[in-house]
Structure 1
Amino acid sequence: MKTVDNVLKEAILNGLYDKDKNNGNEFFSPQLVSNDQENKIWFTLRQELLSTTSFTWAVAFISENMLVPFKLVMSELAKKGISGTLITGTYLGFNSPKVFKELMKIPNLKVRISEEAGFHAKGYIFNHEDYQTILIGSANFTRSALLKNCEWGLKVTSHENGQLVQEVNNQIQSTFTTSIPLTNSWIREYGKNWQPIKKTAMHLVNNQKENILPNKMQKAALNNLAALVNENAKRALVVSATGTGKTYLGAFAVREYQPKKFLYLVHREQIAKKSLESFYKVIGGKREDYGLLTGNKHDFNKKYLFGTIQTLSQDKVLAELEPKEFDYILIDEAHRVAAPTYQKILEHFTPKFLLGMTATPERMDKQNIYEVFDYHLAYEIRLKDALNEQMLTPFHYVGVEDYTVGDEIITETSKLKDLVAEKRVDYVLKQLDYYGYCGKKAKGLVFCSRQEEARKLAELFTQAEHPAQALTNEDSQKKRVEVTKKLENGELEYIFTVDLFNEGIDIPSLNQIVMLRNTQSSIIFIQQLGRGLRKFPGKDYVTVIDFLGNYKNNYLIPIALNGDKSRDKDKLVRESKLPQVIDVSTINFTEVASQRILDSLEKIKLDSMRELKKSYEDLKAKLGRAPLLYDFYQYGTTAPTVFAKNHLLAHYGDFLKKMGENVELTDYQSSVLSFVTKELLFGKRPHELLLLESYLGKEKVSEASYLQLLEGKNCYVNDAVLESVDKVLSLEFFDVKQGKTTKKEQYGNVPLVEKRGKYYLFSSQLLQALSDNQQFKDLFNDVIKTGLALSKEYNSDQQFTLYKQYDRKDVCRLLNWPKDVSAPMYGYRVGEKETPIFITYQKDSKKKRNARYHNTLENGHSLRWYTRTPRHIDSDEVKRLLNTKDMKLHLFVKQSDAAGKEFYYLGTADIQKDSVKEEKIGLKQKSTVGMNLILKHPLNQAIYDLLFS
């Protein structure tokens, strides 16, 4: 096994001398660190923190808006007894007094203040057992620098006796010596003269204009609405995340339409009044043209009328208004239109145009909102899009474990006495204080699971000198307004509620959202999160603190936060284990909280027929027709591959039939659909799909035109690939016994395509089926179209795409082997020139066969691997593996058997010759040959965390 010393030497030579002659190492090689779509400087700092024994940072500028994710990592380090030192300063007054106060909350961080004039350093030093890592560059510890800006940092790893490390350490020591410790008294003195940095006049002007001019996404929505109006559409729906300017978008749309008389319909008088003011800002005109239809206010003759559903649905009010009274009606919170009061109003009026606006069209009461608006979805602005477009206040989400007493963890059935226990309240308050909030005072909204809990916790918070009050659906509208005002003016710090604030009530100044309840659904989670995301002067971010108990629905959290409806379990595992960023918003879990999500995910069957049916019905409601696989791909809902992986379904036509659709297919047609779905839909090699696509409408395709097509699509081409495509589409590849039949027989036993001379020909049976049955043709084309769309996720110019997932059968096909020999392959198969190796890194049970093999990863670069038993150095298989000239080893790894059948491709590897030796393993001490596999592509940080951490 290589020592750290050897690995370091090779890495330094690779990074600074010759990248082709020396083995690099992702962790040790000198490298440039920057922000791009996949990687962030913060991810590098975070990983170094999680693996360090101690650290020292010298950073001039620190922003409060980056401290929340840093605090979570520091809390994890504190559990391991690891601490660090931060040297910062007062240059230009950038660091606010509050930043220093927040840093003081971190118990395992020693903060020093440099007294050097013009201290402007940006260096991060991490100590490890045998080496040090240094990152020096342009990035201060600010949200923009670590997540978004164009910043450059040079990351270098060396022994402590390295010259560069010595110089940096000497400089750090000198700076440390001339610095002073941060204390509360120092912060008080600093705060007396500190002045916040003033924003530029241009920035202020732009902010003022944002409320008057439509933003980028509003412009797109307005264009789509105008197109629908020009096409004589009568109704349309806009889906717009909370806080993205729904009201202003409506005002812009009405201004463009120029109705003779307009009605704005909403469910609360407070919102009606606010909306009137917003419309007046945008449309202007005479103030007397604007009126209300709420309570005792009946301004029937106004041009722009803003009414509540409660008032307008009254018979005496409707009697005063003609069916054609309004030529334009806008319904806010349009997901409510299925309610009888709304239906009563819609049945009375016949406007020229009806516009619905909502943040959450997916209803849990099964009502189809899209149908009401004639399936005209004018535009959709979801939470993730809105954050990326800076339409909302960024958030820092921290998922922490809920309070635990011994082995007792909070669950859905926990007794009230446990939920309001003194120790739990103390724990919650400590977490809220530690992670903090933006601004001078906490303005938090706390979601609880029960009304008694909300009332009692509000009482206990108040007793702890954190004024709080509970609001439930038993409280009057007047009281809700009063309590909300108390929070806004600082009389209260927290409002405790049970789902009351999911929608419709806005407190823009909120700076903390606290979840003290089980996540009931992703819809409700987003509604509650959205309460804090409205922009507000001085609010730079929102802290979202989620206390995760042992809840069965924890798996919904990454689904909601990432807007991930794919039902792809592998994707959700990645989102639960790895740090996520949406623009400059961050998603962070403690290790325990992450594990609780993974435990919850393990128990749920995301691809059950019940779940797939729900997803199907949701999309059907949106489209107004039965969706195809490509619709699921296009609208970002259930991943099409989930249907293909489901063992209860032969193909998507089979699923449609189970959903009650009239699908008539012959046995042969069903077999063909099963083949293209199960084998080609995943798009891991587009070659077969491109050939099938080029056939549609033709009887034959020349080899020359097919080659030209492949080259035009930048697909790798050689004789072996072409022969493999022939064997797959002729079904010869699947002519392998599986029980009583072969896969070839299951797929119809008739070649789809046959190569004759210089031409490819569709089988006459397939041509006849495509001609006779339009349903079959549509389903066949749908698989091809969807498969080609999915193939864009892979590099078509290579056999395998680094860090993508493959199962053993995929590997047999992509290695161009003549038959699918995946069943007897197990851990590896030595080929003539290529050998795939499959490794399950963590063994689920010592009793399992593979638990005898102790695969270990050294330094993210070298993996210890063993042949099957019994094997010796002179075994034929081992000799072929070691002595075949230019043998290419393909390495595939999954973390555990629980991860399913697919392995991540880690690239090719070389055998370290001097590491090969016979070893005895297992209880019976059978012979195996062990060796080190040196990765040609050292692991990136994300895949290392996912598979090996």
Structure 2
Amino acid sequence: MELRPYQQEARKSIFEQWESGAKKTLLVLPTGCGKTIVFAKVAEDCVRNGDRVLILAHRGELLEQASDKIRKSTGLGCAVEKAEETCMGSWFRVVVGSVQTMMREKRLNGFPENYFQTIIIDEAHHCISDSYQRVLQHFPDAQVLGVTATPDRGDMRNLGTYFESLAYEYTLPKAIKDGYLSPIKALTIPLKIDMSGVSVQAGDFKASDIGTALDPYLKGIAEEMQKYCADKKTVVFLPLVKTSQKFKDLLNEYGFCAAEVNGESTDRAEILKDFEEGKYNVLCNSMLLTEGWDCPSVDCVVVLRPTKVRSLYCQMVGRGTRLSPGKDHLLLLDFLWHTERHELCHPASLICENEEVAQAMTENLEKEAGMAIDIEEAEKQAAEDVVAQREEALAKQLAEMKRRKKKLVDPLQFEMSIQAEDLSGYVPSFGWEMGPPSDKQKSTLEKLGILPDQIDNAGKAAKILDRLDKRRQEGLTTPKQIRFLESRGFQHVGTWQFETARKMIDRIAANGWRIPHDVVPQEYHEGA
């Protein structure tokens, strides 16, 4: 099987990381980009090098999928370590193992710690859990590859506690641009679903609370789906099995041909096959199909299980991102969930790296509710909007700074005007003096007419404040008087008395803010 260019690059990067000493490395590929093929080829290379390879996963479907892909793409057979099945005594060099089986002390103790030289973890975002760590710690010298779809920053931080490097990352926008995944159009349904009563458990919205919150809106959602999903092959993700079953019945009442699968479905394989073959046009599930199930012809995804977890959101949407004949895009239905906007995953979570751009994109999509918009175009527009907003804010800030500076005296101008060589030549000596000026110092300086931006240490700020206080007691000019009169051409106003300066400013004001004809500022001195 010929690898795609990015898959070949990923394979090469993994071995480069291992060879450089990073024994635990990570591969990030979006759902639908063939991560199983990549690690199958990596396993083949390792076997060629004489390694024995363990592929760890937490679900039976993932083990079967990995075993099948390895056989098809490399010709290698796999031994199985799951329930009653064991790899001990097998001559196969690749073992697919269930973490629930492998973690058991009796099972682990049957393996010498150098039995596996390479361990590959499918859906690596699970590997921080105790069960995975127990297995990994039993084989301390093995080189490890973790494979996962797009993780969020929190996931990435968690993974960073175990993995030493990121060998390779291929992003969703790049995969769409390169033609390996379907373009995505997001459509916001103008239906406000109140999530204010939903609590949070283990870092995400509590499924039972979502089920309760969602219940009053199911009919409204079915009506909206009639408008947009009638000719689509749709997968709906729901929070609870009972909600999923109820919604399936409702959709059938609204003219859809809907089926439902859950962990207890005895005819699950048959239902999935019938859906793939077109017997049903909607498939409802309670988070069962987030991993290990592929149906490329799915061209609509409805997420009715709101989440804070980006990797989970990406997995749900990923059920519809694969390419298929006759499919020109994936339609992703989003809703106006009434909750804290920043904590909830939206279509923007799939594509935006920057939080500000993601928020702008979500707001733009909500304004265009009822219209399907390509997420790449939406991201580009949001990025432009953010830049425009930043430029506008910067222009306002600069104008404000300019206005502020007009009213304030630059410290250097003040020092020169009052002929204070001790201030202009000041160098801080003590620790407290060397630190930056305090907020209180800066605020006081500004109130007294000095621009604090140019004062870079607390010692200088303290000296200027002391000098200002002393000048006030001696009845000398203020910084504001100095700024005004020197801007009109008067010299060394800093040496004048406060009253002299006040009288001159009053004369100028009385003359319509023009210099009186009998005054030449450059030649004027106090007492003239």
Question: TM-score, normalized by length of structure 2?
Answer: 0.63
For residues 533-682 of structure 1, the aligned pairs below 5 Å read 533-553=321-341, 556-557=345-346, 559-564=348-353, 566-568=354-356, 572-573=359-360, 576-577=363-364, 670-671=435-436
Partner residue, 2:224: 427
Deviations 1:774-793 (A, max 9, x none): xxxxxxxxxxxxxxxxxxxx
From 491, 495, 506, give the equivalent of 2:294: 506
- Give SS of 2:288's match: coil
Contact 2:194 2:213 in 1 (8 A): no
Q: Does 1:748 align with 2:465?
A: no
Partner residue, 2:140: 350
Measure how far apart 1:477 and its partner are.
Answer: 7.1
Partner residue, 2:60: 269
Q: CA distance change for structure 1 residues 379 and 668 in 2, over 3 Å: closer, same or farther?
A: farther
Aligned residue pairs total 388
Q: What amino acid maps onto 1:276 in structure 2?
A: S
Task: Measure the CA separation in 2 of the matches of 1:233 and 1:480.
Answer: 41
Contact 1:735 1:742 in 2 (8 A): no
Measure how far apart 1:672 and its partner are.
Answer: 8.9
Deviations 1:112-171 (A, max 9, x none): xxxxxxxxxxxxxxxxxxxxxxxxxxxxxxxxxxxxxxxxxxxxxxxxxxxxxxxxxxxx
- Give SS of 1:297's match: coil
Partner residue, 2:446: 737
Q: CA distance change for structure 1 residues 480 and 339 in 2, over 3 Å: closer, same or farther?
A: farther
For residues 177-326 of structure 1, the aligned pairs below 5 Å read 212-257=1-46, 258=48, 259-284=50-75, 289-300=77-88, 301=90, 302-326=92-116
Partner residue, 2:251: 461
Measure how far apart 1:586 and its partner are.
Answer: 5.1
Q: Does 1:411 align with 2:194?
A: yes
RMSD of aligned Cα (Å): 4.0
Q: CA distance change for structure 1 residues 339 and 428 in 2, over 3 Å: closer, same or farther?
A: same
- Give SS of 2:278's match: coil
Task: Measure the CA separation in 2 of the matches of 1:668 and 1:541.
Answer: 63
Structure 2 segments unaligned to the other structure (5+ residues): 198-211, 387-429, 461-511, 514-528
Task: Measure the CA separation in 2 of the matches of 1:467 and 1:250.
Answer: 38
Task: Measure the CA separation in 2 of the matches of 1:229 and 1:378.
Answer: 9
- Give SS of 1:248's match: helix
Q: Tell me which of the two structures has the higher relative contact order, counting C-alpha pairs closer than 8 angstroms and 6 or more residues apart.
A: 2
Contact 2:82 2:97 in 1 (8 A): yes
- Give SS of 1:420's match: helix
From 423, 442, 447, give the equivalent of 2:237: 447
Q: What amino acid maps onto 1:410 in structure 2?
A: I
- Give SS of 1:331's match: strand
Deviations 1:433-467 (A, max 9, x none): 3xx43xxxx2x111234544322111111233322
Partner residue, 2:201: none
Contact 1:513 1:544 in 2 (8 A): yes
Q: CA distance change for structure 1 residues 483 and 520 in 2, over 3 Å: closer, same or farther?
A: farther
Partner residue, 2:315: 527
Task: Measure the CA separation in 2 of the matches of 1:477 and 1:295.
Answer: 21
Contact 1:397 1:587 in 2 (8 A): no
For residues 802-841 of structure 1, the aligned pairs below 5 Å read none
Task: Measure the CA separation in 2 of the matches of 1:669 and 1:538.
Answer: 69
Contact 1:518 1:551 in 2 (8 A): no
Contact 2:65 2:292 in 1 (8 A): no
**What percentage of aligned pairs have identical amino acids?**
24
Question: TM-score, normalized by length of structure 1?
Answer: 0.37
User: Greater share of strand residues, 1 or 2?
Assistant: 1
Q: CA distance change for structure 1 residues 450 and 252 in 2, over 3 Å: closer, same or farther?
A: closer
Q: CA distance change for structure 1 residues 218 and 669 in 2, over 3 Å: closer, same or farther?
A: farther
Q: CA distance change for structure 1 residues 430 and 252 in 2, over 3 Å: closer, same or farther?
A: same
Deviations 1:685-741 (A, max 9, x none): xxxxxxxxxxxxxxxxxxxxxxxxxxxxxxxxxxxxxxxxxxxxxx9xx99835776
Partner residue, 1:378: 167
For residues 68-79 of structure 1, the aligned pairs below 5 Å read none
Structure 1 segments unaligned to the other structure (5+ residues): 1-211, 403-408, 602-664, 675-730, 752-874, 877-949
- Give SS of 1:264's match: strand
Contact 1:420 1:457 in 2 (8 A): yes
Partner residue, 1:769: none
Contact 2:437 2:455 in 1 (8 A): no
For the pair shown, the structure with the greater C-alpha radius of gyration is: 2
Measure how far apart 1:241 and its partner are.
Answer: 1.5
- Give SS of 1:568's match: helix
User: Greater share of helix residues, 1 or 2?
Assistant: 2
Deviations 1:637-680 (A, max 9, x none): xxxxxxxxxxxxxxxxxxxxxxxxxxxx9556653999xxxxxx
Measure how far apart 1:381 and its partner are.
Answer: 1.8
Task: Measure the CA separation in 2 of the matches of 1:369 and 1:669.
Answer: 40
Contact 1:432 1:545 in 2 (8 A): no
Q: CA distance change for structure 1 residues 336 and 416 in 2, over 3 Å: closer, same or farther?
A: closer
